[in-house]
Chain A
Amino acid sequence: MYGKLLRINLSTEQVSVEEIPEWVAKKFIGGEGINNWLLWEHFLKVDPRIDPKSPDNVMIIGNGNLAATAFGSGTKVKFTFKGTAYNMFADSVSGGTFGPAMRWAGYDYIVITGKASRPVYIWLDNNRVEIRDAGHLWGKGVFETQDTIKKELGDHQNVEIACIGPSGENQVSYASITVGGKRSAGRCGAGCVLGSKNLKAIAARGTRGFPIADPTAFFQAIDEYRRRLNTIPTIDNWRQFGTLTAPDFYNVIGSNHYRNCQENILPPDAISKLNGQAYFKTIYKRGVSCSPGCAAACSSEHVINGDETPEAKNWAGEHGDKPEYLTVSSFGMGCDVRDIASVAHWQKKCGDLALDILEIGNACGFIMELREKGILTEEDISQWIGEKVSASWGDSNFIEKAIESVAYQKNQFGQIFKDGVYQGARRIENIKGVPVLKYVVFGKGGSVINEEVRPFPVWAINMAVASRGCCHLKGLSWLDKSERRDISMAWFGRPEAGQGYSPALKGAGAARSENHITAINLLGICVFTGFFDPLILSLDVFARGYSAATGFPLTGEELYLAGERAYNLEKAFNSRLGLRREHDMLCERWLKEPTPHGPGKGMKVEDYFQQVLDEYYDYHGWDKSTGLQKRSKLEEIGLGDIIPVLEKDHAVV
């Protein structure tokens, strides 16, 4: 009634199904909330300080209650685990078709533990669960794996697959899971965890569906959601350009990541080859949604014929989904490759090898900067790669080789960057005896984001504190980048959080954005459509959809509180691992180097960081001096039961 949970122990091949308890559903709602509770429960029995590549780690896959419905905000499936990339709390989210197939097969949540004795894949055929041999799939890329599985299951139409590629098999710590062939659960190493469990893929065929508690009320909620969505002035633009709205907007406000974030505005000749117009004039084919049930449908498909851009001939015949902004920023802007076809190719290549785009793209830009500064030579890099590369700005051949080197662990370059850019930089310091960490662009946990943050204090704080390591999806605040004074007025009764290029009220803005976005993530839907405009699409709108779908009354206020509760559980998990205020940090470039261009020229994070961080902790009700949660706050939000656990780890004040 509150959701079906499938448990699979790969060591013993035991499979069981249970109901999500009522009190859990009422407290954590669903999606990210119930995933977090399942993670917390797992690590009450297992020491959270384990090596995340060990069989004791867990992989939790969860859908929210609006996922795989016609509500209109798409479906985002959430993978939750202890992360291999940054050794802390981790979750990764993806669109695509696997989440809906899993839910239509009858499972809202899957908890995978243990380690298979040989490569396997899981086959969920509605209510039948099978663990099948995957020896013949090991070593194959995602696309070949999916085709092979569908062929052997005799169904190309209804089987949907989440699987890993060579990166996960080779234990690259930032390996991802490719979902439905075109979308990725990236960043924290979800693919590495599956690889460590000898789990190549999970295939699902769901034709059973699930009941909606009050169909009439649900259709009313859908109508209200879509009517409100269509009044957002930017919605038609979003439907066409999606995240490729950002290159132009960011170039005006000074938020792009150019040449490893040495610059924040691209020259005209570069931006014109990497913006939304460049994509639509060259390789765009047709608009699509990334997952079923989305009324915004901001994705699209591309086809490369070979003559659209200077480098398109290298990728002629390829097709795939639209490159998202962070793919463009990682490879196109960060490495100064002024070719949208090449960017689209690398998105597909990283999907096939199931490798996180931000981390490998950032690694390439970092190497190019070291090469420009003369710290590394062409000979150094060519020796690591095993063949001659230039690795100067715009060198597509180097990027191609770098991706393969890491995914297949085929040479020294691959080994240097097996655990991300931050760890790679430390290895280069050991090899060369020269300090290079100051050129790595990163935030919490050593994780990267390929966007400029210095002039945008909400963003800077969100990148310094995010529970899964530096990440835009734990805040996604439009407050300061879009200068939304109206949102600031509604949230705080004051406009300052929506006034750009100033630290005023930005700590509170960062904290409230985290709680709000987590609330949306409890429902298994897209945060972009969900967070488009939190005034027009208030949490009440989503709560009414949830209530109609499940039959359990929920208000927007209760949804927000559940979001805050879920985010506090992520914080508590990290506190158990020893993370404190000093771990909420950013790289030297962002802290100490002035923003080079644009309206925020001259701003650097160290000028406002501590003061805004204080306000962030205050708003959350956390302790400023340690960064830890306070007992009183945990009791206030209904998490008093976790206090004894935190006390044992000296992780609460």
Chain B
Amino acid sequence: MVKIEVNYYTTFAKITGKSYETVEMENPTLRELVTQLLRKYGRKLSEITWDEAQGDLKNGISVLINGRNLPLDTKLQSSDQVAFLMPMAGG
């Protein structure tokens, strides 16, 4: 089992009702973690996050591993930090 810290920011924190949680899974990929969280939080999360047709995260949504945008088949390690973020630039 690996323990992954998942952080939720801005709208993601509103949808999940929390700013972070620890998820325990057996040797997961990022895709498996995201799938589990989409099941847990239902339509509101999947609507803004998941592109059903492409079977992928929607373009413009960031789910980062330790700050990096990595492929969904990336294996997660214990102590990895996964962040659900609304990306932007400028200000």
Contacts and interface: CB of A to CB of B under 8 A. Distances in A.
A243 B67 contact: no
A487 to B, nearest CB: 8
A451 B86 contact: no
A204 to B, nearest CB: 29
B67 A599 contact: yes
B85 A484 contact: no
Interface residues of B, number: 25
Interface stretch (B22-30, B34-42, B54-62): B54-62
Contacts of A252: 7, 9, 64, 67, 83, 85
B17 interface: no
A477 interface: yes
Interface in A468-516: 472-473, 476-478, 481-484, 486, 500-501
A276 interface: yes
B10 A478 contact: no
A329 interface: yes
Interface string B61-91: 1101011110000000000000101111111
A233 B46 CA distance: 11
Contact of B60 (A241, A243, A533): A533
A248 interface: yes
A238 B83 CA distance: 18
B60 A245 contact: no
A533 B86 CA distance: 13
A245 B68 contact: no
Interface residues of A, number: 41
B90 A482 contact: no
A632 interface: no
A232 B10 contact: no
A458 to B, nearest CB: 9
A483 B65 CA distance: 13
B16 to A, nearest CB: 13
A483 B48 contact: no
B58 A233 contact: yes
A477 B89 CA distance: 7
B86 A528 contact: no
A151 B48 CA distance: 48
A429 B65 CA distance: 44
Interface string A435-477: 0000000000000000100000001000000000000110011
Nearest to B7: A252
Contacts of B9: 248-249, 252
A2 B28 CA distance: 61
A433 to B, nearest CB: 37
Contact of A237 (B68, B86, B91): B86
A237 B11 CA distance: 6
Given A236-B11, A482-B60, A500 B88 contact: no
Contacts of B86: 234, 237-238, 241, 245, 249
B74 to A, nearest CB: 14
A234 B88 contact: yes
A237 B83 contact: no
B10 A486 contact: no
Contacts of A392: none
Given A237-B11, A252-B85, A483-B69, A325 B62 contact: no
B10 A476 contact: no
A234 B12 CA distance: 11
A535 interface: yes
Contacts of A276: 10
Contacts of B68: 500-501, 599
A241 B10 contact: yes
Contacts of A309: none
A254 B67 contact: yes
Contacts of B69: 483, 500
Nearest to B67: A599
B7 to A, nearest CB: 8
A70 interface: no
A236 B12 CA distance: 11
Given A482-B87, A599-B68, A237 B10 contact: yes
A326 B91 contact: yes
A598 interface: yes
Given A252-B64, A253-B64, A253-B67, A246 B88 contact: yes
B91 A324 contact: yes
Contact of A236 (B48, B62, B85): B48
A75 interface: no
Contacts of A241: 10-11, 86
Interface in A211-265: 232-234, 236-238, 240-241, 243, 245-246, 248-249, 252-254
A277 interface: yes
B62 A245 contact: no
A238 B48 CA distance: 13
A500 B2 CA distance: 27
A243 B62 contact: no
B85 to A, nearest CB: 5
B66 to A, nearest CB: 7
Nearest to B83: A252
Give 7 nearest A-B pairs by CB, closest first.
Answer: A325-B91, A482-B87, A599-B67, A237-B11, A483-B69, A248-B9, A237-B86
9 contacts: A234-B61, A238-B86, A240-B10, A329-B91, A472-B89, A473-B90, A482-B60, A483-B87, A528-B90
Interface of A: 232-234, 236-238, 240-241, 243, 245-246, 248-249, 252-254, 276-277, 324-326, 329, 451, 459, 472-473, 476-478, 481-484, 486, 500-501, 528, 533, 535, 598-599
Given A233-B48, A252-B64, 4 more contacts: A234-B61, A277-B13, A476-B90, A598-B67
